[in-house]
Amino acid sequence: MTARNSESVKLLSSRSYSTPITVSTVESRKDVAPQQSQSIMLSLAVCLLYGGTSVCITFFNKAIFSVYEFHFPCFLTLLQITVCLFILTVANAFRFIKLTTPTFALIKHVYPLTLCWWTYVISGIAALRYLNIPMFSTLRKSTALIVLILEALLLSKHSKPSIWVSIFVMVTGGIIAGVTDLSFSREGYVLVLLCCVATALYLILIVKLGKHPSLDTFSLLYFNNLLSFPLMLFYILAFTTELKEVPQYQHIRSSKFWAFLLFSAAQATLLNVAIFLCTRLNSPLATTVTGQIKDFVTVGFGLVVFGDVKLSVPNLIGLAVSLFGSVLYSLLKFIHARRSRQLQHSPGPSKSSSFVPNVTKLESKTSS
C-alpha cells in the first residue's frame, strides 16, 4: 500500500461516522424524504376532513334547531346512529370495508368508549338548543385543557409549559366571554361543560382502546354505534316524550326537511370517521388543535348567520382572547411536531466503530 493511500485510510479511520456509507444506506436515506412528505400530507388531509366536516355539521344541527325549530335532540342522535349503522353495513356487504364480527370480549372492550361518545354527542347537540354558535365553540375550547390533563394522567404524555400557557389563555378568554354573555343559559353551560369532559375522555379512549388488533377504524366505529343504539332508544323511551311528539312536528311531511335531516345524519357518520382517523393517525391533541383552528370559521359565520348573538364589548374581548389562545396553541403544536419529526429522522449518535468494516475493505483494495 502506498504512503498516499495509507494516509487516506488513516484520515478516514480518524473520522466518526454515524452509519456505514453503503449503497443500502444511501438508498434508505433517499426514501426518507418522500415517506415523510406522504405522512405529513396524509395527516393534513385527515385534519382537513375532520375540521371541514365538524364546521358543516355544527351549522346543520343549529339550522335544524333554529330554522326548522326541530327541538328533538335525542331523536336526531338516534337517527344519526341509525344512518351510520346502515352506511357501514351496506359498505361491508359490498366489501368496501371489512367489519370485525362482534364478540362479548370486544363489546366489553369498547363499551367505555360508547358511554363517553353517547354523552359527548347528546350533550353537544342539546347544548346547541340553548347557546349561540360563537359561545358554544368558545366554551368547547375547555376540551383542550382536559385533554392535556388526561394525557398526562392516562397516557403519560407531558406537554411543554408553553402549551399550558396557550391553553390557559384560550380558557381565560372563554371564561371572559361566558361571564359577559348577554344570552346566558345555565342549562347550555352545564351541557357544554359535560360535552367537553366526555369529548376529552372519548379522544383518550380512542387511543387506549383502539390498539386492539381486531379493531380497525370502521369496526371500532361500528361497535360504538351498535352499542349506542339500545342505550339511546332506552333513554328516549324512559326519560323523554320525543317519540310521541315527533309525529306531530309541523314539518314532518316536508321532503325538504327530511333531506336536510338525513344529510345532517350522514355528516355525523363522516365526522365520526374523521375523528377516529385524526386521533389514531395523529394524536388526541392534534384532533383538539384542529378543533381550535376550525373555530375561526365557526365563530366568524356564527356571528352573522342565525342572528341569535347578543354582542357586548367585554364579550367580544373574551372571544378575541380565546381565539388568540387558539392561534398560539396551534402554532406551538405545529412547531413542536416539526421539531420532533426532524429529531426522529436525524442520524443517531456517532459510532467510530461503524465505519471499520468499510475501512477494512478499503485497505484490502488499496493494498492490492
Half-sphere exposure of 290 (CA within 13 A, CB side): 25
**For residue 33, what pLDDT is reported?**
53
Residue 300 falls within a domain, yes or no? yes
Q: Determine the longest span between alpha carbons in the chain, in angstroms.
A: 100
Residue 37 falls within a domain, yes or no? no
Provide mean pLDDT across the span 13-27. 45
Residue 2 falls within a domain, yes or no? no
**For residue 230, what pLDDT is reported?**
94
| Closest CA relative to residue 275, chosen from 200, 351, 181 | 200
Whole domain around residue 82: which residue ranges? Answer: 43-149+184-304
Of the chain, the end-to-end C-alpha distance in Å amounts to 7
pLDDT in tens, 29-57: 445 555 666 677 887 888 889 888 988 88
pLDDT tier for residue 215 given thresholds of 50, 70 and 90: confident
pLDDT in tens, 158-189: 888 888 888 888 888 877 776 666 566 788 88
Q: What is the pTM of this model?
A: 0.67
Q: Does pLDDT of 11 surpass 90? A: no
Helix axis angle, 255-281 to 73-93, nearest 10°: 70
Residue 67 falls within a domain, yes or no? yes
Contacts 24+ apart (CB under 8 A), 176-179: 176/314, 176/315, 176/317, 176/318, 176/321, 176/322, 177/135, 177/138, 177/139, 177/315, 177/318, 177/319, 177/321, 177/322, 178/135, 178/138, 178/139, 178/318, 179/314, 179/318
Q: Does pLDDT of 85 surpass 90? A: yes
pLDDT in tens, 299-352: 666 666 656 566 677 777 877 887 788 778 777 877 776 777 677 666 555 444
**For residue 207, what pLDDT is reported?**
82
Q: How far is CA 284 from CA 87, 289, 297, in A?
A: 26, 9, 21
Residue 327 falls within a domain, yes or no? no
**For residue 22, what pLDDT is reported?**
47
**For residue 27, what pLDDT is reported?**
46
Residue 160 falls within a domain, yes or no? no
Structural domains in the chain (count): 1
Residue 1 falls within a domain, yes or no? no
Q: Does pLDDT of 18 surpass 50? A: no
Residue 14 falls within a domain, yes or no? no
